[in-house]
Structure 1
Amino acid sequence: MNNLERLKLETKGITLSPEELSVYLAEEGITNPDAEYDASSSTSKRKIYAAALSILNSVANNISLMKNYKEDDISVSDFSESLSQRIDQLERKLRSMAINESETGSNTFMLFNR
């Protein structure tokens, strides 16, 4: 599975062209969307989640999707609430993930520097 396919898994139901998805990946530092996705790397996961978060924020900024429509038993306002919850969930997940990993796999954080 390559990076582009992994991003599509994370953003199912959102239709974007491969070129648009590549831009989101490039903004997160993944310059080759066709490269093999490394599931064991927390850095790769973090970049995919950050790209997915950017896509969801772009969808949330599309005002035409946020109008109040009522069809059958669901309204578009429910879509807006669900989207907002998913954005919050991804933000929490990104904050809880390790930023840098050393060779030993431990996380380090330098609070004070002389």
Structure 2
Amino acid sequence: MLPPDLQRIKHIRDYCTEIEKTVMRYGRAFTIFDSDPDYQRSVSFSILQIGELSGGLTQEYRQATADRVQWGPIKGMRNLVAHNYGSMSREIIWETATTDIPALKRFCEEQLASADF
């Protein structure tokens, strides 16, 4: 069984995969994303969940991995999506989905692959 932090990392990875699948399904163009509320909601929900899960990581884990992942902004993005959804910049959500999420997914996969359990 995975330690609690790695269980959360696994769930974060799964939400990263969901975003990846959504982008592949709808299309990898900002114009499509910008004009489709369902696309926006799907990606935003997964970003919100990633931020929520990251907030549950132990302080020790976040500190130990801070050189690879900026956990504060991930949690901050969750708060923006949750509390300012209607006025949230679609450009920022898109940039997060297409640039930051793939990098986060790689990090999670590396963490899970190197888990010593």
TM-score range, shorter chain: 0.3 to 0.5
Higher relative contact order (CA 8 A, sep 6+): 2
Structure showing greater radius of gyration is 1
The structure richer in helix per residue is 2
